Amino acid sequence: MPEEAVRFAVLQLSGCAGCEVSLLNAEEWIERYRLMYMPLVVSAYDVPPVDILLVSGGVRTDEDLYNLRRAIPRAKQVVAVGTCAISGGVASLGDRDEVRQLFLTQPERRHVPRMLPKCHPIDAFVEVGRYLPGCPPTPELFMAALLDPADFKASKIVCQECGRRKVRDLRPEHLVGLRQGEVLPDICLINQGYFCVGSSTRGGCRAPCPRGGHPCVGCRGPSDVLIDKGSTEWLASIQRVFQSLTDVPAAEIEQAARSPQMALFLFQFSDYAGVDRPPRPKEKVL
């Protein structure tokens, strides 16, 4: 490896380590970039000076906040990686009353860092140079963030990468819930009664979920046209798509969108945009 190789580190805050595993599944960086710090695989006491700092996980505990503030001055560029660092994800589950209640009744909680009243995205505290949403971002997206290839451009929405066809003559009257057996291979999952939100979700992942027959849950976050708007507009956009392709009642769509399963991904961003700070600049989001 050349001495002048780009030096980068991965700071893990509260999350599931899925982002790190996805990064390790991307190989192209190994010959060209030098990984200096990543507790999952590299033994190092602290984040050293680096060119790029990837931060995964949300700011869930006071320890997260301490580690984030300590690491930032050592990096030339900061990239927020994954849904938790950007807009919710598993790190934000502790915001739910029932989860917090469960946690507070456990005596063992005294042995873990203090939870903040609310989970925060990292840009609530530090300047971020680039956002890489996904749960986790695919290896290809990691490579695009690290190597910045000129030919990489995320599609506007997941539907553009999915390849399934939306049809007008297959109109379900109700949602069918989670995947039920075989799905028709080429037809849009919405036409088959699944709650797929690919039409309002940022592309770039190559649509692995809907192509495999599983609805997109929106882990890449809102598309460019929705990124600076609130959750009301996002939900309205989803409703319009379902109205045009199905006869499912609007209340059923709303209930599905706000279910605990979808709450991991949808509508978290509205907590983070426009209330305490301006919306994220689109050009910073990969």
Specify whether the CB–CB gap between 204 and 158 falls below 8 A: no
178: contact with ligand SF4 by CB under 6 A? no
Site track for ligand SF4 across 212-241, x = CB under 6 A: ----xxxxx---------------------
Residue 119, token pair as written in the block: 């989970």
285: contact with ligand SF4 by CB under 6 A? no
Separation between Cα atoms, residue 106 and residue 101, nearest integer Å:
9
Task: With contacts defined by CB under 6 A, name the span among 122-130, 154-162, 168-176, 223-231 that binds ligand SF4.
Answer: 154-162
Segment holding 77, helix H or strand E: strand 75-81
54: contact with ligand SF4 by CB under 6 A? no
Specify whether the CB–CB gap between 36 and 7 falls below 8 A: yes
**Closest approach of Cβ 260 to ligand SF4, in Å?**
16
Give the other-Cβ count within 10 Å of 278's Cβ: 8
132: contact with ligand SF4 by CB under 6 A? no
Separation between Cα atoms, residue 109 and residue 246, nearest integer Å:
46
**Closest approach of Cβ 77 to ligand SF4, in Å?**
24
Residue nearest to ligand SF4 (CB): 198
The CA-atom distances, in angstroms, between 59 and each of 52, 56, 144 are 19, 9, 25
**Closest approach of Cβ 5 to ligand SF4, in Å?**
30
Give which of 259, 143, 274, 155 is closest to 205, Cα–Cα.
155
121: contact with ligand SF4 by CB under 6 A? no
199: contact with ligand SF4 by CB under 6 A? yes
60: contact with ligand SF4 by CB under 6 A? no
- List residues binding ligand SF4 (CB under 6 A): 158-159, 162, 164, 166, 188-190, 196, 198-199, 201, 205, 207-210, 216-220
